[in-house]
Amino acid sequence: MKISFLGTSAARPTTTRWLSCVVVQRRGEFFMFDCGEGTQYRLLQKKIRIWHRPAHIFISHLHYDHWGGLFGLIASMSLEGRQQCLQIYGPPGIRTLFLSLVKLVRKENFPLEVWECSPGLILETTEYRVLACKGTHGIPTLAFALIENMRSGKFYPDRATALGIPKGTLWGKLQAGKTIQIEGRTITPDQVVGPPRPGLKIVYAIDTRPNKHIKELSANADLLIHDATFSRMQQSRAEETGHSTAYEAATLAKRAHVRQLILTHISARFRTDEILRNEAEEVFKPSRVAYDGLTLLLPPNE
């Protein structure tokens, strides 16, 4: 998976941070988490060609800084001649909001589906699923997890060759988990294929206080992208506004046994990432502060 951070600021943009947006690319399919103002420009800068590709957009909540770029994006898709369906997911109220406004910006050349989601499974295919859980904010808020299904085990050609299995159809059958017969012998997949491998898991939780639902959703994630609007010096402000400190995000990451934590939704008061990074690393070393343009590549789990 390729993860691109297009906007990492909190409620207002700065000269270096635009409003919230993270894009995950997986095998030619796009998953966008929030769509702050200016998102389409950032897509152009990063040469992310989403216009005609399968795409799902997940909006965490209905504060403007998390969806304000969506109508410009939809308008550009229309002008580009998009024909594929665009699917948008979000909390209750999103359908009324978008369907009442989207007529102003979209030509009727591609279908648009808007789904109001509750915690639980919200999207599932043969290769992955997307789950949602409740965030803790001033209005209904969702955190999301993109979870790949288990992958087949690694195929070992040397084992197959040693067993006298010719390369070709029989190899394919064994890789597909089928038992074969050759020269009166029975060969089972476990003789040439390793154990199943877990898929990748990415969790997106911003504009929220840490809570038990997000901890459970984040369990053993390869990557947790979490709100870190404030530092411990603004603890009371974080509680008052329904946000997290870097220290709290790192504590949740440690307790959930995630592999890597990325802090985002950074308040404009922070001119550098030093304070938040140090605060998080004090609790959980594999932490870093996102910046606009940050790109991560997550290789498959082996």
pTM: 0.90
For residue 150, what is the DSSP state? P
Locate the DSSP E strands across the chain.
Answer: 2-7, 21-26, 29-33, 55-58, 86-90, 112-116, 120-124, 128-134, 142-148, 180-182, 185-187, 201-205, 223-227, 261-264, 287-289, 295-297
Q: Per-residue pLDDT for 174 more than 80?
A: yes
Distance CA 252, CA 178 (A): 42
Catalytic positions, please? Answer: 65
Structural contact between residues 171 and 155, judged by C-beta atoms closer than 8 angstroms: yes
| Average pLDDT taken over every residue of the chain | 94
Residues of 122-135 as b/e, b for ≥16 C-beta within 10 angstroms? Answer: bbeeeebbbbbbbb
Integer distance in angstroms from the first to the last C-alpha of the chain?
A: 14
* The pLDDT of residue 98: 83
Query: Tell me: the pLDDT tens digits for 185-236?
Result: 999 999 999 888 899 999 999 999 999 999 999 999 999 999 999 999 999 9
Query: Tell me: the pLDDT tens digits for 242-268?
Result: 999 999 999 999 999 999 999 999 999
Structural contact between residues 65 and 11, judged by C-beta atoms closer than 8 angstroms: yes
User: Could you give the residue range(s) of every CATH 3.60.15.10 domain in the chain?
Assistant: 2-151+198-297
Q: pLDDT category, 120, cuts 50, 70, 90?
A: very high
**CATH code reported for the domain at 2-151+198-297:** 3.60.15.10
